[in-house]
A and B are shown apart, each in its own frame.
Chain A
Amino acid sequence: MAGAWKEFYDSVIGYNLNYVNSIQLADYPKQFWQAFYPQFQTFWPVYLLATLGILSSFRSKSSFRILAGWLLFSVVGIAIGGYFRGHYFIQIFPAIVLLATSYLVLETSQRWPRNSVAVSAVIVGLIVAWGVWRGSWYYGTASPDEKLSRYMARTPLLSPCLQGVISLITPVLWTKSLCLGPNRRSFITQIVPAPVDIFLFIHCYGSLKILLNASGKFYQI
């Protein structure tokens, strides 16, 4: 691979600079809605909790302000180029899920201090169950080709992936000493973003490519 600087530059930078200039700015909203609405139908409870978390940032909750800022920058990331392909939304999942679960833990801690973990677990369980029910076709007996086609065409990546992220992060957030205690700033800003980034951008993206390659098909993603 040594001596392939030109190819490396083209693959990492040059190609992307051309790729992001194909969609007109006026078409961004339409492209966004076409990609966002199908997943919103399934994950509206998560987005609702995240929105309430954002609103909490206006009540001097510094941890929510940090997460809201992280979400804002992540939205900029998925908007680059204006394509809004389904898997692009992976970039906002960490901030969305942390906003949603932080708000959930905060509210349940204030309303039901003795049973906050149990109440949070029930609510998260219902949200995950709703997502599983909406995406039940994925866990059914359809053929791999049929699943792959539907996976890419209708609900690309989102159903299993978001549930996975929720499952991974929620138990961490329940250890309130980390995210709502005195160390919350250093935890959120220095420990969470890096491994979550690496998990999302390598594991999920890599898994998708492996899945597609294993199926003997090639999709331009």
Chain B
Amino acid sequence: MLSWGFISGLLLGVSCLFKQVAIVNGAFIFLYLTVKKPRRIPLMLSVAAGMGTILLATGGYF
């Protein structure tokens, strides 16, 4: 599950760079994880880590 969370974060990060309105889909994922999941903190962190990896790598490149 954590690996899927990380992959989702990676793809979310790329999506936000292509079309910034994808951020609302990210908000939905985080909201769902906040409300529903028993392992919400690790999952949220894995999604955030994936998204952060893309954004930091892109920002670092530029």
Contacts and interface: CB of A to CB of B under 8 A. Distances in A.
B11 A198 contact: yes
Contacts of A88: 21
Instruction: Classify chain A's interface size.
Output: 20 to 34
Nearest to A202: B18
Contacts of A3: 62
A66 B22 contact: no
Contacts of B33: 189
Contact of B1 (A4, A78, A190): A190
Interface string B10-41: 01101101111111110111011100100000
A107 B4 CA distance: 31
A41 B27 CA distance: 31
A14 B29 CA distance: 25
Overall SS of chain A's interface: helix
Contacts of A47: none
Contact of B11 (A2, A69, A189, A194): A194
A8 to B, nearest CB: 4
A78 B27 contact: no
B40 to A, nearest CB: 12
A77 B14 contact: no
Interface in B37-61: 58-59, 61
A76 interface: yes
B61 A78 contact: no
Contacts of B21: 77-78, 80, 88, 91
B54 to A, nearest CB: 11
Nearest to A75: B24
Given A189-B29, A190-B4, A195 B11 contact: yes
B15 A201 contact: yes
Contacts of B22: 77, 91, 197, 201
Contacts of B58: 8
22 contacts: A5-B59, A69-B31, A73-B28, A73-B31, A78-B21, A80-B21, A185-B36, A186-B1, A189-B33, A190-B8, A194-B7, A194-B11, A194-B12, A195-B11, A197-B15, A198-B11, A198-B14, A201-B18, A201-B22, A202-B14, A202-B18, A205-B19
Interface of A: 1-5, 7-8, 12-13, 16, 66, 69-70, 73-74, 76-78, 80, 88, 91, 185-186, 189-191, 193-195, 197-198, 201-202, 205
